[in-house]
Amino acid sequence: MKFTAEHLARMLLESGSRSGPLHRQLSEGIQELIELGELPPEALLPSERALADAMTVSRTTVVTAYRSLCSDGRLIRRQGSGTRVCPPHLRSGERETVSSPMLSGDHSGSAFLSPRLGTVDFSTAALPCLPLVSEVAAGLTRTDYLALGAEHHGYHPRGLPALRESVARWYARVGVPTTAEQILITSGAQQALELITHGCLAPGDGVVAEAPTYRGALEAFRLAHARIQTVPADDHGMVVERLEQLIAQRPPRLVYAQSTVQNPTGTVLADGRRHKLARLAERHPVIVVDDTALSGTLLEGSQPVPLAGLTDSERLLTIGSMSKLYWGGLRIGWIRGNAEVVGRLAQMKGITDLGTSLISQQIAVHLLERVEEAQAARRDQLRAGLDTLSALLGEFLPDWTWSLPRGGPSLWVRTPTSSITNLGHVALRYGVVIAPGTAFGYGGGIDDHTRLPYVLPAPVLRAGIQRLARAWESFTDGARVAPVPVASITT
Ligand SMILES: Cc1ncc(COP(=O)(O)O)c(C=O)c1O
């Protein structure tokens, strides 16, 4: 299939406005058309000169955009046969992502799929299990199991009734009256995101997320062929005023927010913005998803009133999780929302897996009885990690800066380079894996940032930061420093 310059220019125009340098706007636009399937595999694109003329931009702009799409494995150029959309089986960039350790920095699950021995992996910020979890799990008695066995067949797509009650009570305690009918238990917050994505989005629907944001959410939206736009975030969370402007121009179908402890920045949405976001959910036909998976990891103070406490809009869906406060291995999360909407999502959950493990859910019931104890333990652990990492960065990478997070397991660090991606390749040679800022944003940008978790044991953190500092020296000085042996971590 061949696309003329005029045709492609028109498609790009219709795909909406973007910001940033022209070449990036162009490459993001083409990438979006490829992801939506509007530019199918093998499609022949116009020459650089023709597209430049049709779009009234310089030829260099098109050359740069095509080049970056080629290096991302989106386009392929062959002498004499022009520039084509890369067929999926040839996408070298993607294949590289699957086999290369750099993938650890590129997609959210890869650090778990292919952990690398001997490296310090800063690409995941997964938290260690709280000792409370094993204590509670070991304390499950015969009576607990008998009670579970009494649950007939054991299939509960909506979740164990006792857990739905506990979660509902927890919301009521933080000022959000909730019934068990409004709660759907999911296998982690990630499944909650998947269900909402598939239940609410059709290919081409608009989604607005913060930049940066949780990459697992971006991946879910991308897989659903959503049209993703971003609004900036600052130290007070999502810039809701910019979101309002976007909605006024062209309302998206879904807004993805993280009001209480944002991944990766650790911010909490300021009160004024919270109220504005709640009003948006009331005034506009937009689904607002408030992912509060990290809300149990505040470093100080108590939880602000959840967005769900500020509006009873049926278009607001709140996601929660036990992974960050207690342990990801439980695989327990939930969706809180309007009972009817939750009922429809429960049907999808039933189709997907017939329900989450009842044993995990029973442990979760007991864990929720000890929420304050868990929060105190997690807080102490996080504060100690934050102090250690801040001191290490001050000692070894003094030019790297960050804003103090309000919660969460990581620092969102600004570095004096505009290509953390390239630094990442060098860092691998020094035995450390980092996630470039681009992994947390959509379509490039923010490549001067990286997310550094502080939940690793102190000796591993020290080894990792020392290695990173040597990689940084090599990266900035032109590889004068010899790599350290990768097997020297002592925990
Ligand atoms: C913001 C956010 N949402 C969802 C998830 C997925 O969490 P879970 O382990 O509950 O699936 C994560 C995990 O990192 C996250 O940071």
Ligand 1 pocket mutation pick from 185, 321, 349, 412 by most atoms within 8 angstroms of CB: 321
Last residue of a domain, one of 345, 369, 393: 369
Q: Has residue 349 been placed in a domain?
A: yes
Last residue of a domain, one of 91, 115, 140: 91
Same domain, 213 and 353: yes
Check if 407 has its Cβ closer than 6 Å to any atom of ligand 1: no
Task: In whole angstroms, give the CA distance from residue 390 to residue 403.
Answer: 11
Check if 186 has its Cβ closer than 6 Å to any atom of ligand 1: no
Alpha carbon of 5 to ligand 1 centroid (Å)? 42
Same domain, 139 and 262: yes
Q: Is the dihedral of CA 376, 378, 381, 382 positive or negative?
A: negative
Check if 108 has its Cβ closer than 6 Å to any atom of ligand 1: no
Alpha carbon of 321 to ligand 1 centroid (Å)? 7
pLDDT tens digits for the chain (491 residues)?
889 888 888 777 766 566 678 888 899 889 888 877 788 888 999 999 999 888 878 899 999 999 999 888 889 887 778 899 987 655 443 332 222 333 333 556 666 665 555 789 999 999 999 999 999 999 999 998 988 888 778 899 999 999 999 999 999 999 999 999 999 999 999 999 999 999 999 999 999 999 999 999 999 999 999 999 999 999 999 999 999 999 999 999 999 999 999 999 999 999 999 999 999 999 999 999 999 999 999 999 988 999 999 999 999 999 999 999 999 999 999 999 999 999 999 999 999 999 999 999 999 999 999 999 999 999 999 999 999 999 999 999 999 999 999 999 999 999 998 889 889 989 988 999 999 998 898 555 678 999 999 999 999 999 999 999 999 999 998 643 444 444 444 33
Same domain, 290 and 403: no
Check if 189 has its Cβ closer than 6 Å to any atom of ligand 1: yes
Same domain, 306 and 220: yes
Task: In whole angstroms, give the CA distance from residue 453 to residue 63.
Answer: 37
Specify the pLDDT at position 115: 58
Q: Has residue 484 been placed in a domain?
A: no
3-state SS assignment for residue 100: coil
CA end-to-end span of the chain, whole Å?
A: 56
Same domain, 145 and 286: yes
Check if 265 has its Cβ closer than 6 Å to any atom of ligand 1: no
Q: Has residue 31 been placed in a domain?
A: yes
Give the domain CATH number at 381: 3.90.1150.10
Q: Has residue 213 been placed in a domain?
A: yes
Q: Has residue 336 been placed in a domain?
A: yes
Q: Has residue 490 been placed in a domain?
A: no
Alpha carbon of 57 to ligand 1 centroid (Å)? 41
Last residue of a domain, one of 337, 369, 401: 369
Give the domain CATH number at 221: 3.40.640.10
Check if 214 has its Cβ closer than 6 Å to any atom of ligand 1: yes
Which residues span the domain enclosing 441? 100-126+373-477
Q: Has residue 302 been placed in a domain?
A: yes
Same domain, 156 and 292: yes
Specify the pLDDT at position 10: 76
Q: Has residue 489 been placed in a domain?
A: no
Alpha carbon of 390 to ligand 1 centroid (Å)? 24
Same domain, 242 and 142: yes
Same domain, 338 and 410: no
Alpha carbon of 268 to ligand 1 centroid (Å)? 16
- Ligand 1 atom with minimal separation from the 108 CA: 14
Residue type, 354: L
Specify the pLDDT at position 124: 92
Give the domain CATH number at 17: 1.10.10.10
> From residue 142, how far is each of 146, 147, 156 by CA, in Å?
6, 8, 21
Specify the pLDDT at position 445: 63
Specify the pLDDT at position 482: 43
Residue nearest atom 16 of ligand 1, based on CA coordinates: 263
Same domain, 85 and 163: no
Same domain, 304 and 317: yes
* HEC readout, 59-111: HHHHHHHHHHHHHCCCEEEECCCEEEECCHHHCHHHHHHHHCHHHHHCCCCHH
Same domain, 314 and 394: no
Same domain, 159 and 252: yes
Number of domains in the chain: 3
